[in-house]
Amino acid sequence: MLETKHLTKKFGELQAVSDVNLSISRDGIHSIIGPNGAGKSTLFHLLTGYLKPTEGEIRYNEEDITGLAPRKIVRKGISRSFQIADLFEGLTVKENLQIATQALDEKRNAIWMSSDALTTTLEKTDQLMADLELSELSDVRADALSHGDQRKLEMGLALAVEPDLILLDEPTAGMGKQESVQMMNLIQRIVNDRDIKLILIEHDIEMVMQISDRITVLNRGEILAEGDPKEIQANERVQEAYIGTEGE
Protein backbone atom coordinates (compact mmCIF):
# COMPACT_ATOMS: atom_id res chain seq x y z
CA MET A 1 0.00 0.00 0.00
CA LEU A 2 2.77 2.41 1.00
CA GLU A 3 6.38 2.15 -0.05
CA THR A 4 9.42 4.31 0.37
CA LYS A 5 12.73 4.03 -1.43
CA HIS A 6 15.95 5.50 -0.08
CA LEU A 7 13.93 8.10 1.79
CA THR A 8 16.31 10.64 3.34
CA LYS A 9 15.91 13.96 5.13
CA LYS A 10 18.84 16.07 6.19
CA PHE A 11 18.67 19.10 8.46
CA GLY A 12 22.04 20.61 7.71
CA GLU A 13 24.53 18.00 8.87
CA LEU A 14 21.96 15.95 10.73
CA GLN A 15 20.42 12.99 8.94
CA ALA A 16 17.03 12.85 10.62
CA VAL A 17 15.81 10.15 8.26
CA SER A 18 18.40 8.17 6.41
CA ASP A 19 17.92 5.80 3.50
CA VAL A 20 14.64 4.38 4.75
CA ASN A 21 13.05 1.64 2.66
CA LEU A 22 9.61 0.72 3.86
CA SER A 23 6.98 -1.53 2.40
CA ILE A 24 3.75 -1.43 4.29
CA SER A 25 0.89 -3.72 3.36
CA ARG A 26 -2.82 -3.08 3.47
CA ASP A 27 -3.55 -5.27 6.48
CA GLY A 28 -3.10 -4.89 10.18
CA ILE A 29 -1.55 -2.27 12.42
CA HIS A 30 1.98 -1.16 11.63
CA SER A 31 3.92 0.49 14.45
CA ILE A 32 7.04 2.60 14.28
CA ILE A 33 9.14 2.75 17.39
CA GLY A 34 12.52 4.09 18.32
CA PRO A 35 14.21 6.27 20.94
CA ASN A 36 13.72 10.04 21.15
CA GLY A 37 15.04 11.84 18.13
CA ALA A 38 15.10 8.64 16.06
CA GLY A 39 13.33 10.39 13.21
CA LYS A 40 9.84 8.96 13.62
CA SER A 41 7.97 12.24 13.41
CA THR A 42 10.20 13.43 10.60
CA LEU A 43 9.29 10.27 8.68
CA PHE A 44 5.61 11.15 9.11
CA HIS A 45 6.32 14.69 7.99
CA LEU A 46 7.85 13.31 4.82
CA LEU A 47 5.04 10.85 4.15
CA THR A 48 2.39 13.55 4.50
CA GLY A 49 4.09 16.30 2.53
CA TYR A 50 4.87 18.54 5.49
CA LEU A 51 8.58 18.27 4.67
CA LYS A 52 10.17 17.60 1.32
CA PRO A 53 12.64 14.71 1.31
CA THR A 54 16.28 15.44 0.54
CA GLU A 55 16.38 12.22 -1.42
CA GLY A 56 14.21 9.24 -2.14
CA GLU A 57 10.72 8.46 -3.21
CA ILE A 58 7.33 7.70 -1.72
CA ARG A 59 4.73 5.55 -3.45
CA TYR A 60 1.17 5.12 -2.37
CA ASN A 61 -0.87 2.46 -4.13
CA GLU A 62 1.79 2.39 -6.84
CA GLU A 63 1.52 6.15 -7.38
CA ASP A 64 4.46 8.48 -6.81
CA ILE A 65 3.40 11.05 -4.21
CA THR A 66 6.84 12.41 -3.33
CA GLY A 67 6.81 16.13 -2.67
CA LEU A 68 3.07 16.62 -3.08
CA ALA A 69 1.49 19.31 -0.93
CA PRO A 70 -0.24 18.10 2.25
CA ARG A 71 -3.70 18.91 0.98
CA LYS A 72 -3.14 16.84 -2.13
CA ILE A 73 -1.89 13.91 -0.12
CA VAL A 74 -4.96 14.10 2.08
CA ARG A 75 -7.10 13.87 -1.02
CA LYS A 76 -5.30 10.67 -1.97
CA GLY A 77 -6.53 9.18 1.28
CA ILE A 78 -3.66 9.62 3.74
CA SER A 79 -4.30 11.66 6.85
CA ARG A 80 -2.41 12.15 10.05
CA SER A 81 -2.37 13.44 13.60
CA PHE A 82 0.41 15.48 15.18
CA GLN A 83 2.51 14.64 18.20
CA ILE A 84 1.50 17.94 19.73
CA ALA A 85 -2.20 18.47 19.12
CA ASP A 86 -2.87 21.07 16.45
CA LEU A 87 -6.52 21.97 16.83
CA PHE A 88 -8.66 24.91 15.82
CA GLU A 89 -8.34 26.06 19.37
CA GLY A 90 -10.74 28.96 19.48
CA LEU A 91 -13.55 26.94 17.92
CA THR A 92 -15.84 24.33 19.47
CA VAL A 93 -15.42 20.58 19.19
CA LYS A 94 -18.27 20.48 16.76
CA GLU A 95 -16.89 23.27 14.60
CA ASN A 96 -13.49 21.57 14.58
CA LEU A 97 -14.92 18.36 13.21
CA GLN A 98 -17.33 20.16 10.92
CA ILE A 99 -14.46 22.03 9.29
CA ALA A 100 -12.54 18.83 8.71
CA THR A 101 -15.58 16.93 7.43
CA GLN A 102 -16.61 19.83 5.21
CA ALA A 103 -13.25 19.59 3.44
CA LEU A 104 -14.65 16.54 1.61
CA ASP A 105 -17.78 18.30 0.46
CA GLU A 106 -17.72 19.61 -3.08
CA LYS A 107 -19.37 22.81 -1.76
CA ARG A 108 -16.51 23.43 0.65
CA ASN A 109 -15.58 26.67 -1.11
CA ALA A 110 -19.12 27.97 -1.51
CA ILE A 111 -19.49 31.59 -0.53
CA TRP A 112 -23.16 32.26 -0.90
CA MET A 113 -24.82 29.69 1.34
CA SER A 114 -24.88 28.83 5.00
CA SER A 115 -22.41 26.22 6.14
CA ASP A 116 -25.25 24.67 8.09
CA ALA A 117 -26.96 23.85 4.81
CA LEU A 118 -24.44 21.09 4.12
CA THR A 119 -26.57 18.47 5.83
CA THR A 120 -24.45 15.44 5.00
CA THR A 121 -21.45 17.16 6.48
CA LEU A 122 -23.39 17.88 9.65
CA GLU A 123 -24.63 14.31 9.91
CA LYS A 124 -21.15 12.92 9.46
CA THR A 125 -19.86 15.36 12.05
CA ASP A 126 -22.40 14.20 14.59
CA GLN A 127 -21.64 10.56 13.85
CA LEU A 128 -17.92 11.10 14.30
CA MET A 129 -18.46 12.98 17.53
CA ALA A 130 -20.48 10.06 18.81
CA ASP A 131 -17.82 7.55 17.73
CA LEU A 132 -15.20 9.55 19.56
CA GLU A 133 -17.38 9.83 22.64
CA LEU A 134 -17.17 13.61 22.42
CA SER A 135 -20.86 14.37 21.82
CA GLU A 136 -21.37 15.82 25.25
CA LEU A 137 -18.54 18.27 24.70
CA SER A 138 -19.89 19.42 21.35
CA ASP A 139 -20.06 23.11 22.28
CA VAL A 140 -16.86 23.34 24.31
CA ARG A 141 -13.98 25.25 22.81
CA ALA A 142 -11.08 23.02 21.84
CA ASP A 143 -8.61 24.89 24.05
CA ALA A 144 -10.85 24.30 27.06
CA LEU A 145 -10.83 20.50 26.70
CA SER A 146 -8.90 18.18 28.97
CA HIS A 147 -5.63 16.86 27.58
CA GLY A 148 -7.14 13.47 26.84
CA ASP A 149 -10.07 14.94 24.97
CA GLN A 150 -7.75 17.16 22.98
CA ARG A 151 -5.85 14.06 21.86
CA LYS A 152 -9.15 12.49 20.84
CA LEU A 153 -10.14 15.55 18.88
CA GLU A 154 -6.72 15.62 17.26
CA MET A 155 -7.33 12.10 16.01
CA GLY A 156 -10.88 13.07 15.08
CA LEU A 157 -9.59 15.72 12.69
CA ALA A 158 -7.55 13.06 10.94
CA LEU A 159 -10.50 10.67 10.82
CA ALA A 160 -12.97 13.25 9.57
CA VAL A 161 -11.39 13.34 6.13
CA GLU A 162 -12.26 9.65 5.67
CA PRO A 163 -8.78 8.33 5.00
CA ASP A 164 -7.78 4.88 3.83
CA LEU A 165 -4.52 5.22 5.66
CA ILE A 166 -4.09 7.09 8.91
CA LEU A 167 -0.81 8.03 10.56
CA LEU A 168 -1.06 8.67 14.29
CA ASP A 169 1.93 10.27 15.99
CA GLU A 170 1.88 9.20 19.64
CA PRO A 171 -1.87 9.42 20.15
CA THR A 172 -1.50 8.57 23.82
CA ALA A 173 1.28 11.04 24.57
CA GLY A 174 0.95 12.55 28.00
CA MET A 175 -1.81 10.20 29.13
CA GLY A 176 -1.88 7.98 32.19
CA LYS A 177 -1.72 4.23 31.82
CA GLN A 178 -5.40 3.57 32.15
CA GLU A 179 -6.38 6.43 29.87
CA SER A 180 -3.86 5.23 27.29
CA VAL A 181 -5.38 1.79 27.24
CA GLN A 182 -8.84 3.24 26.76
CA MET A 183 -7.60 5.47 23.97
CA MET A 184 -5.89 2.56 22.26
CA ASN A 185 -9.06 0.50 22.46
CA LEU A 186 -10.99 3.35 20.93
CA ILE A 187 -8.46 3.67 18.14
CA GLN A 188 -8.55 -0.02 17.37
CA ARG A 189 -12.31 -0.06 17.32
CA ILE A 190 -12.66 2.92 15.00
CA VAL A 191 -9.96 1.73 12.65
CA ASN A 192 -11.56 -1.68 12.42
CA ASP A 193 -15.07 -0.36 11.95
CA ARG A 194 -14.04 2.02 9.23
CA ASP A 195 -11.54 -0.34 7.65
CA ILE A 196 -8.65 2.13 7.85
CA LYS A 197 -5.02 1.09 7.70
CA LEU A 198 -3.18 2.42 10.75
CA ILE A 199 0.47 3.37 11.06
CA LEU A 200 1.26 4.23 14.63
CA ILE A 201 4.14 5.91 16.42
CA GLU A 202 4.07 4.85 20.03
CA HIS A 203 6.42 4.99 22.97
CA ASP A 204 4.80 2.38 25.17
CA ILE A 205 6.62 -0.78 24.03
CA GLU A 206 4.34 -3.11 25.92
CA MET A 207 1.30 -1.72 24.21
CA VAL A 208 2.98 -1.79 20.83
CA MET A 209 3.81 -5.45 21.24
CA GLN A 210 0.21 -6.23 22.09
CA ILE A 211 -1.57 -4.48 19.27
CA SER A 212 0.83 -4.41 16.33
CA ASP A 213 0.96 -6.80 13.45
CA ARG A 214 4.23 -5.41 12.24
CA ILE A 215 6.86 -3.16 13.75
CA THR A 216 9.62 -0.99 12.30
CA VAL A 217 12.36 0.15 14.64
CA LEU A 218 14.11 3.40 13.79
CA ASN A 219 17.34 4.57 15.33
CA ARG A 220 19.23 7.69 14.34
CA GLY A 221 17.18 7.93 11.20
CA GLU A 222 17.90 4.40 10.03
CA ILE A 223 15.83 1.27 10.09
CA LEU A 224 17.31 -0.92 12.76
CA ALA A 225 14.94 -3.82 12.46
CA GLU A 226 11.60 -4.81 11.09
CA GLY A 227 9.33 -7.73 11.82
CA ASP A 228 6.41 -8.99 13.85
CA PRO A 229 6.35 -8.32 17.60
CA LYS A 230 8.05 -11.62 18.45
CA GLU A 231 10.95 -11.03 16.10
CA ILE A 232 11.42 -7.50 17.36
CA GLN A 233 11.37 -8.60 20.98
CA ALA A 234 14.05 -11.17 20.26
CA ASN A 235 16.23 -8.83 18.27
CA GLU A 236 19.49 -8.06 20.06
CA ARG A 237 20.25 -4.85 18.22
CA VAL A 238 16.88 -3.47 19.24
CA GLN A 239 17.53 -4.36 22.85
CA GLU A 240 20.89 -2.63 22.68
CA ALA A 241 19.43 0.53 21.15
CA TYR A 242 16.90 0.68 23.94
CA ILE A 243 19.34 0.21 26.78
CA GLY A 244 20.02 3.55 28.35
CA THR A 245 16.92 5.09 26.92
CA GLU A 246 14.83 3.20 29.45
CA GLY A 247 12.49 5.27 31.53
CA GLU A 248 11.68 7.92 28.97
Ligand X SMILES: Nc1ncnc2c1ncn2[C@@H]1O[C@H](COP(=O)(O)OP(=O)(O)OP(=O)(O)O)[C@@H](O)[C@H]1O
Residues that bind other proteins (CB under 8 A): 41, 48, 50-51, 69-71, 74-75, 79-80, 82-84, 86-91, 95, 98-100, 102-105, 107-116, 118, 157-158, 160-161
Measured on CA atoms in the order 91, 97, 98, 100, is the torsion positive or negative? positive
156: nearest Cα among 120, 186, 128: 128
Site string for Mg ion, 77-106 (x = CB under 5 A): ------x-----------------------
Please state, as a whole number, how many other Cβ atoms lie within 10 Å of the Cβ of residue 154. Answer: 23
Q: Would you list the DSSP string of 93-147? A: HHHHHHHHHHTTSTTTT-SSS-GGG-HHHHHHHHHHHHHTT-GGGTTSBGGGS-H
Instruction: Point out the residue whose Cβ comes nearest to Mg ion.
Output: 41
Q: How far is CA 58 from CA 33, 37, 46, 100, in A?
A: 20, 22, 9, 25
Minimum CB distance to other proteins smaller for 95 or for 149: 95
Work out what residue 34 binds among other proteins, ligand X, Mg ion, none; the CB cut-off runs from 5 to 8 Å by kind: ligand X
Judged by CB under 6 A, the stretch of 8-16, 73-81, 89-97, 143-151 that binds ligand X is 8-16
Q: Does 61 bind Mg ion (CB under 5 A)?
A: no
Please give the residue ranges that form the binding site for ligand X (CB under 6 A).
11, 14, 16, 34, 36-42, 83
Please give the residue ranges that form the binding site for Mg ion (CB under 5 A).
41, 83
